[in-house]
Amino acid sequence: MEIEEKMRVGIYDPYLGAVLGGGERYVLTLAECLRASGHQVDIFWEEDKLLGLIKEKLGIDLAEINFVGDIFKLDLFERWRITRRYDVIFFLSDGSLPWLFAKKNFIHMQVPLIGVRNKSLVSSLKKRLIKNFICNSEFTKKVIDKVYGVKSLVLYPPVSTEDFSNKAIKKNIILGVGRFTQSLHAKKQDVLVRNFKLFIDCGLKNWRLFLVGGALPEDQSFLEGLKKLAEGYTITIRENIS
């Protein structure tokens, strides 16, 4: 089927060069789907070996998508000059509101929100340029709507359902998936380990805890401490797997 109108879409994720986590899977799957539908998709980042890493880690093929550099490092006039050429811009944010000048601008908000200042005149002007706030769950929607005074849309994270089988044999396994970090996006794996150990010490038998996720060099001390905390128990920790 031929598409009647092809859009020029720009996508920005400020964490793309740091970690390939849930937010990155979200926006890059969107990029992949839009390109498969015949639209031109530009990612505002330097490619710099990211294509291979994204395909290896997330299974997403972006070979036909353009990496055009991080325009959000430019001054406001240059950003206006570039972004106004786009039909759509999709911007992933942790709370900040950018100036966006495409025909239609969408912001995907994540929680927690850091240093939000949305009561100023400048913030009000920025919000008027945004067609919709997007979030990934009803929980996040409640936070976003209250903080920003908007009616956000819920677009759930992508899941490859074809990778699942209803013939799998259930086992006594608890699986925790999330980046190993103590930053603002901490997943509290240390809490999971301590509570699992408590259950085992209280008599729980034949159960295992698996913790998997990405780890950056600056997260290594936390990761090593977590492994030490798990010693002697049926706890398996794996970092940076596909």
Question: What is the chain's pLDDT, residue by residue, as a tens digit (242 residues)?
Answer: 344 589 999 999 988 877 778 888 899 999 999 999 999 999 999 877 788 888 888 888 888 899 999 999 999 999 999 999 999 999 998 788 899 999 999 999 987 665 566 677 888 899 999 999 999 999 999 989 988 889 999 999 988 777 777 777 889 999 999 888 887 678 899 999 999 999 999 999 999 999 998 887 888 899 999 999 999 999 999 998 87
Looking at the domain assignment, is residue 161 inside a domain? no
**Domain span holding position 208:** 169-239
* Statement to judge: residues 24 and 140 lie in one domain: yes
Separation CA 238–CA 212 (nearest Å): 5
Q: Which residues make Cβ contacts (< 8 Å) with residue 108, sequence separation at least 6?
A: 23, 26, 27, 90, 91, 92, 93, 134, 135, 136, 155
* Statement to judge: residues 38 and 134 lie in one domain: yes
Looking at the domain assignment, is residue 29 inside a domain? yes
* Statement to judge: residues 134 and 176 lie in one domain: no
Number of domains in the chain: 2
Is the pTM here over 0.75, yes or no?
A: yes
* Statement to judge: residues 18 and 134 lie in one domain: yes
* Statement to judge: residues 147 and 31 lie in one domain: yes
Looking at the domain assignment, is residue 159 inside a domain? no
* Statement to judge: residues 64 and 126 lie in one domain: yes
Strands 88-93 and 66-67 turn out to be: unpaired
* Statement to judge: residues 75 and 100 lie in one domain: yes
Q: What CATH number is given to the structural domain containing 24?
A: 3.40.50.2000
* Statement to judge: residues 179 and 106 lie in one domain: no
